[in-house]
Homo-oligomer: A and B are copies of this chain.
Amino acid sequence: MSDLTLVIGNKAYSSWSLRPWLLLKHLGVAFEEIAIPLHASDAVAQIARYSPSGRVPVLLDGDEVVWESLAIAEYLAERYPVWPTEAHQRTLARSAASEMHAGFAALREELPFNCRARRSGVDPSLAARAEIDRVVALWMTCRQTISGNEGPWLFGRFTGADAMFAPVALRFHTYGVFLPEGARAYVATVRQDFHVQAWIQAARTETGVILADERGEQVGEA
């Protein structure tokens, strides 16, 4: 694993791209980036050059092609400390990460990822509110497995669970979602993270603006 390349979409819009990117950064693993503007006219062809599923992110490791954020996490976990060391925490982290991977459809639909924007006036549906509550409950369940001074991430130190939920925290910030104190603290941790800030800075320099309201989540991501 010496020649890693991560194929991603627009940093402004691609929450799924952020996940393995942030994980690699926190693991301290060097990698190249290939960014494909997801709404360009040749996006499908460009993504197809790298991705068997037609979606980003994709991790290229020499001849090996790894797609889907969770599969990338498990691929890296064979060599790096992606998950908590303690067995109960690791089980919880994986369940939470999987729940994120396949769930929260209303939240993702109604609060599309746009890490360079602030929005007001979005009124989540009952379904989205229930999902927001569930995310908060999950975060608190993770945090309750650690004692006070182990660090500000879900299990103290940054793990694959944080990689999966960091984009959700940014959505909550973008849309000004009202959160209880513990969840607010976690959103602040995500926002203040050095690597997250670098991602957002890069997003601000991207010139692609896709739709009038900058909605961009649904296309070409997984």
- Residues of chain A having any CB pair with chain B under 8 Å: 52-54, 64-71, 74-75, 87-88, 91, 94-95, 97-99, 101-103, 134, 137-138, 141, 222
Establish whether residues A101 and B70, one from each chain, have CB atoms under 8 Å apart when the complex forms: yes
30 pairs, A vs B, C-beta closer than 8 Å: A52-B95, A52-B138, A53-B95, A53-B99, A53-B103, A53-B134, A54-B134, A64-B87, A65-B95, A66-B94, A67-B95, A67-B98, A68-B94, A68-B95, A68-B98, A68-B102, A70-B94, A70-B101, A70-B102, A71-B94, A71-B95, A71-B98, A74-B74, A75-B91, A75-B94, A98-B101, A101-B101, A101-B102, A102-B102, A103-B222
A96 CB to nearest B CB, Å: 8
* A75, B74: Cα distance in complex, Å: 12
Chain copies in the assembly? 2
CA distance A156 to B199 in the complex (A): 42
Assembly CA distance A91 to B53 (angstroms): 14
CB-defined contacts of A98 to chain B, threshold 8 Å: 67-71, 101
Report the Cα distance A69→B98, complex, angstroms. Answer: 8
Question: Which chain B residue lies CB-closest to A77?
Answer: B74
* Assembled-state Cα–Cα distance A97/B77 (Å): 16
Q: Which residue of B lies closest to A95 (CB)?
A: B71
